[in-house]
Amino acid sequence: MFCKTRTRLFKMSSAPPVKYKGLQNQGATCYLNSVLQVLFMTKEFREKVERATSSTARPPLGYPDKADILAELKSLFDELEHGDGSVSTRGITNRLHIDNVYQQQDAVEWFQKILSELGEGVTKDFQGNMQQLLKCSKKGHDVKEDNKFISVLLPVGTENDRVYDVKECLEDFFKSTMLDEDDWMYCDQCDDKTIKDVSCEIERHPTILALHIKRFYFDYMRHGFVKNCCRISIPSHVTLQKSEYDLYGVINHRGGYQGGHYDAYINPPEDGGWYCFDDGRVQRIADDFMKSSETAYLILYRKSKQPKNKKRKRKRKKAASGQKKKRSRRKHRWGKRH
C-alpha cells in the first residue's frame, strides 16, 4: 500500500506570529526535531530535565566518557524557551552519536532511545507497567509476565475505505486473544505448548501515554516492508482501564518506507491551541486533523487532572450521603423505642 504525499492535511488557521521556536534541519533530521519538540512540550519531562543534575542520567551504552545527553537537553530546552529564531541541534546529534545527518531514521525508535538512555528519575512520567496474562489450556493455570513500557504498539487495519478509531484499537489491544494451534506458547509447568489464551492489562498507568501506530509491516507478496496509510480518527480524550487521558501531541510521517518527512502537531501546555512544528517553521493550525489522519505515527496523551470543582462536588455528595445515613439511623433507633 502506497501513500499519497501531501504538503498539508489541514487548513492553517489565521493567527498572529507564534511565540514558539523551531529546530534547524541538518539534512534529514526532521525525525529527531519532531521528537525533541514533543519532549520539550511535555511539561512534566521538561521540568525534570531542568531540575536534574548530570548524576541523575545514565550515560549512553558504549560511550561512558562522552555521555551528557541530559546537559545537552537542558541547553537545548533553554534555547527553545529563551532563544531567538530557530535553534540548532548539532549539540544533541553529537551527543547521540548521529554521524550521518542526511540519513532518514525512525522517529519512534529515537523517542524510545532518548528516554531509555536517561535515568528513570527523569523519564518516569513515560513509564508504565503492563502485565501479560497467559492461560494454559491443559491445567487451567495462569502465567503472569510483567513488562515495563514507554510506548504501546497499536496495530490498525489496512483498509482504505474506512476510518479506524484509536479508542476501538485500544479496546481490541486489551481484549483476550485465542491463538491458533500453530501459535500456542510454551508452558514451563506443563513442559509443552499449551498456552492458547493471551491478554494484557495495565498494572501501572503512565502519566504520559504514548501510542505507536503500527504503520510499517512486512509484505510477503512484495518481499519487503511497506507503509500502512490507513486513515485513523484521533479522539481528544481516551479512557484506559479507568484512567483518563487528554491528547496533546502527534508525530506524523509522510512518505513511504524508504523515506519521507516528519513533523509534529502539538497542543502546548496552558496554551489551548494546536501548532505544527515542521523543523524551523512553527504555525498555528486547526484541530480538524484529528477526524481522519493518514500520517499519525506516534500519538501522545497526558493523564487527566480532576477539576477542583468536580472534587468539591464529590466531597459534598459524600457529605450529604453521610448526613442522610445518620438521619436514617436516628429514625431507626427512634422507631425501636416507640
In a domain, 72, yes or no: yes
In a domain, 338, yes or no: no
Q: How confident is the model at residue 22 (pLDDT cuts 50, 70, 90)?
A: very high
In a domain, 255, yes or no: yes
Average pLDDT score, the chain: 81
Q: How confident is the model at residue 199 (pLDDT cuts 50, 70, 90)?
A: confident
The grid cell for 96 is 547521540
- Helix or strand run (H / E) with residue 113: helix 107-117
In a domain, 87, yes or no: yes
In a domain, 168, yes or no: yes
Total number of domains constituting the chain: 1
Q: Given a cut of 60, is residue 310 above it in pLDDT? A: no
Residues 248/208, Cβ–Cβ less than 8 Å = no
Average pLDDT over residues 96-107: 94
More confident residue, 330 or 226: 226
Residues 249-291: tens digit of each pLDDT = 999 999 888 789 999 999 998 888 999 999 999 999 998 999 9
In a domain, 267, yes or no: yes
Residues 82-91: tens digit of each pLDDT = 988 999 999 9
Residues 174-183: tens digit of each pLDDT = 887 766 666 6
Give pLDDT, residue 5. Answer: 39
Name every residue whose Cβ is closer than 8 Å to that of residue 207 and which is 6 or more positions away in sequence.
Answer: 44, 124, 125, 126, 302, 303
CATH number of the domain that residue 143 is part of: 3.90.70.10
- Distance between CA 33 and CA 208 in Å, rounded? 19
Give pLDDT, residue 7. Answer: 38
In a domain, 308, yes or no: yes
Q: Given a cut of 80, is residue 74 above it in pLDDT? A: yes
Q: Given a cut of 90, is residue 149 above it in pLDDT? A: yes
Residues 41-62: tens digit of each pLDDT = 999 999 999 987 655 555 545 5
The residue among 187, 223, 52, 44 whose CA lies nearest residue 125 is: 44
- The DSSP symbol for 37 reads H
Containing structural domain, residue 273: 30-314
Average pLDDT over residues 190-218: 83
In a domain, 155, yes or no: yes
- Distance between CA 266 and CA 160 in Å, rounded? 26
The residues that bridge with 298 in the sheet, in sequence order, are 212, 251
